[in-house]
Structure 1
């Protein structure tokens, strides 16, 4: 039984920075990873998907070259080289993450599967090697999440793809069916449409990205329609079958029964926490109905000394929030700084479809549900000088402000480089800059950010 000051299960975007912080205090850390250093973000999430999306955008721009007065000949997408470029970026980032951890003499990296033996001990099951028994006063759980696969008749017997395996394709699908119209489905659907696939997106909800305001969903639907991406909503998939090289999804909608056949099927119906097979039942860790580990303000579970961070603990499922969990946990647990809290923290996110969809704070539906008074402003990109110059006129900026304090309550940015603009508004919210100060701020011309002047000038009473 080897003794450490801390054991961390999962070398993801909470586990890695937490290990470094604890190690920098001169404490010994065992960092256990069963798959690959870097977690979902580096290996099959943010880094590879955004690398592939960049390739898809280049293909899209080449297809539109004539709009800019540039004549090009025939072009084609080499899916093998797209994958090769993606693999290079993943290897680069994974290697950098590993080197960063290896610099610390206090961190011991162990590749294997961690299983709790008691509230202070873990067994590490290593393929081709003997198991290890570890002990620590504090154990942190950060295994992340995995694709959620729905229970649809015939699906398990059919060669479907998930958000990881689709990035291993070396051929461009002739017709990609995407089951799920959320953020993952939209990113991959548009990406492969630009690679040259016919794409059909199907979702049970009444609209794409239903967590967003109706006008946002309508604009995204309009953009996808213009790019000839077929979308079907209010669809209940009933059965999946695979015959003669074709995969078919039988469904029911408000008009009756129907089916769609294609060459490939991507199941993008969300993710689930990786809380199973850790032996949590052995020590009595409490889970939510959805399988998340229940934690308190200190990220401590129902078992004292055992903590959980990131996706598995029900934190917002974004890399930057997992990283922030590590920052908060370290400061609260090891530095005693309980003034820092995960309660009411702003949650930014960006969906890397094109144009980008970025959010911070409240949208209109949330404000109405919480009965929070607000004024709203919207500025369409078709009126933005920078957007017109670059011919990127899809989407809009939208902001909610407090009628009394003039503080920004939230913003949705659907535009080119939307995530960058959202970050500007996030800083304004943290700095408590009133919206009308931004309205009259001299912002460099011609930039996309100067459209914030116009946005704030559009603020008016909500309906």
Structure 2
């Protein structure tokens, strides 16, 4: 039985930085990972998908080359080369993460699957090797999440794809059917349409991006329609079948029963917390109905000395929030700094469709639900000098402000490089900069950011 001060289960974007920070204090740490260092972000999520999206954008731009006065006679997409480039980036990032961990003192990296025992020790199952029994004063669970595959008749007998396996394709699908119109489905749908696939997105919701304001939905819908991406809503999938290289999806909607066939099927119906198989029930760790581990302000579970962070603990499902969890947890637990908290923190995010959809703070529908007074301003990209120069005029900037304090309540940025602009607004919100001060700032020309002048000047005005 080897003893440590801390054992971290899962080498994701909470687990890795937390393990390094704890070890840097001279405390012994074991980092347990059953699959690959780097977690979902490096191996299955952010890094590989955005690398492939970059390839898809190049295909899109080459296809539009004539709009810029550049004549391209013909081009093709090499799906295998796209995959190989993605793999290279993943290996590069994973290698960097591994080297950083290996340099840390007092830190043991153990590849295997950790399972809690009744006496609150941890058994690490190592493939082809003898199990290890470990013990620690503190345990940190960062096992993340995994694709949620719904129960649909016939699905298990079909060669369906999930958000990981679709990135391993060596051929471009002729017709990709996407079950799920969430952010993952939208990113892959647009990506493969640009690679050359026919794409149909099906969702049970009544519209795209239902968490966003209706005008955001309308603009994204127009963009997808322009790119000839087919979308179907209010869909209840009843059955999936596979025969002769074709996948048939049978469904029911408001118009009645129907079916659609395609060459490939992507199941992008959300993710679920990876809380199973850890032996949590044997030690009494409480789970929410969703399967997330219940934690308090210190990220401590119902069992003293056992903590959980990131997706598995119900934090906003973004890499940067998992990383922030580790930052907060370390400071609260090991530095005694209780001023840092996950409560009330701004949750920025960016969806890497093109143009990017970025959000921070409240949107209109949330403000209305909560009875929050607000004024709004909107500035369309078709009026932006930088957008016109680059011929990237789709989308808009939108802001909500407090009528009395003039503080920014939130913003939605649907534009080229939208995530970068959202970060500027986030810093203004944290710094308490009133919107009218931004309106009158001299911002370098010609940049996308200077459209923030125009955006803030639109507050209170009709945005048609």
What TM-score, normalized to structure 1? 0.99
Q: Distance in 2 between matches of 1:104 and 1:310?
A: 22
1:85 is aligned to 85
Q: Is residue 2:341 matched to residue 1:377?
A: no
Q: For 2:136, what is the secondary structure of its paired residue? A: strand
Q: Distance in 2 between matches of 1:161 and 1:440?
A: 50
2:441 is aligned to 441
Say whether the 8 Å CA contact 1:174–1:198 is kept in structure 2. yes
Q: For 2:259, what is the secondary structure of its paired residue? A: strand
2:292 is aligned to 292
Q: Distance in 2 between matches of 1:386 and 1:120?
A: 59
Q: Distance in 2 between matches of 1:397 and 1:198?
A: 30
Q: Distance in 2 between matches of 1:153 and 1:273?
A: 23
2:240 is aligned to 240
Count of paired positions: 463
1:396 is aligned to 396
Q: Distance in 2 between matches of 1:153 and 1:380?
A: 45
1:35 is aligned to 35
Say whether the 8 Å CA contact 1:379–1:455 is kept in structure 2. yes
1:450 is aligned to 450
1:301 is aligned to 301
Q: Distance in 2 between matches of 1:69 and 1:462?
A: 36
Say whether the 8 Å CA contact 1:8–1:15 is kept in structure 2. yes
1:276 is aligned to 276
Q: Distance in 2 between matches of 1:264 and 1:76?
A: 20
Q: Distance in 2 between matches of 1:238 and 1:356?
A: 33
Say whether the 8 Å CA contact 2:120–2:283 is kept in structure 1. no
Q: Distance in 2 between matches of 1:359 and 1:106?
A: 39
Deviation at 1:105, TM superposition (A): 2.0
Mean alpha-carbon deviation: is it higher for 9-18 or for 113-122?
A: 113-122
Q: Distance in 1 between matches of 2:462 and 2:372?
A: 11
Deviation at 1:190, TM superposition (A): 0.2
Cα-to-partner distance string for 1:430-454 (whole Å, 9 max, x where unaligned): 0000000000000000000000000
Q: Distance in 1 between matches of 2:323 and 2:313?
A: 13
Q: Is residue 2:16 matched to residue 1:16?
A: yes
Say whether the 8 Å CA contact 1:206–1:234 is kept in structure 2. yes
Q: For 2:286, what is the secondary structure of its paired residue? A: coil
Q: Which runs of 5+ in 1 are unaligned?
A: none
Q: For 1:156, what is the secondary structure of its paired residue? A: helix
1:387 is aligned to 387
1:49 is aligned to 49
| Paired residues for 1:63-82 under 5 Å | 63-82=63-82
| Paired residues for 1:36-435 under 5 Å | 36-118=36-118, 120-435=120-435
Deviation at 1:120, TM superposition (A): 3.7
Q: Distance in 2 between matches of 1:462 and 1:116?
A: 59
Deviation at 1:355, TM superposition (A): 0.1
- List, as ranges, runs of 4+ consecutive aligned residues in structure 1 with deviation greater than 6 Å: none
Deviation at 1:119, TM superposition (A): 5.9
Q: For 1:455, what is the secondary structure of its paired residue? A: helix
Cα-to-partner distance string for 1:187-242 (whole Å, 9 max, x where unaligned): 00000000000000000000011110000011000000000000001111111000
Q: Distance in 2 between matches of 1:240 and 1:39?
A: 31
Q: Distance in 2 between matches of 1:74 and 1:159?
A: 33
What TM-score, normalized to structure 2? 0.99
Say whether the 8 Å CA contact 2:24–2:105 is kept in structure 1. no
Cα-to-partner distance string for 1:318-356 (whole Å, 9 max, x where unaligned): 000000000000000001111111000000000000000
